[in-house]
Amino acid sequence: MGDWKNGEKVFTDPKRGNCYACHAGVPGEVAHGTMGPSLTGYGQRGQSEAVVRYTYEKIYNAWAFVPCSLMYRGGVHGLFTPEETATWWPSFWTPSPPSTGGEP
């Protein structure tokens, strides 16, 4: 369902997503931040419309659901386009990508 290889690149790229600065994403990885919640096993949250919409909006524009969130607004600030976000964020539900810890 998504391009998890590209998603992992964005997740770890300090000039784009840099998600590792605040989140754990790969089981066993010790070089990650702890300010945000762990995203290991994120796909286990399900794929309901509410979860999918929240995930997309939180990645593209963190303030869409939580005004003044500490998470930066990568899409709003031009670090990735809506199309890029739509391509790689579904990787959270892709079977066995490193950034989700496996199939939901």
Distance CA 44, CA 79 (A): 27
Indicate the burial class of 22 (C-beta count within 10 angstroms; 0-12, 13-18, 19 or more).
middle
Q: How far apart are CA 88 and CA 86, in angstroms?
A: 6
Domain at 4-93, CATH class: mainly alpha
Residues in Cβ contact with 69 at an 8 Å cutoff, skipping those fewer than 6 apart: 62, 63
- pLDDT of res. 47: 79
Predicted pLDDT at 100: 44
In a structure prediction context, what are the per-residue pLDDT tens digits for the chain, which is 104 residues long? 456 677 777 777 888 878 888 888 776 777 788 898 888 778 777 778 888 888 888 889 999 888 988 888 888 998 888 887 877 766 666 555 444 444 43
Identify whether the C-beta of residue 4 lies closer than 8 Å to the C-beta of residue 94.
yes
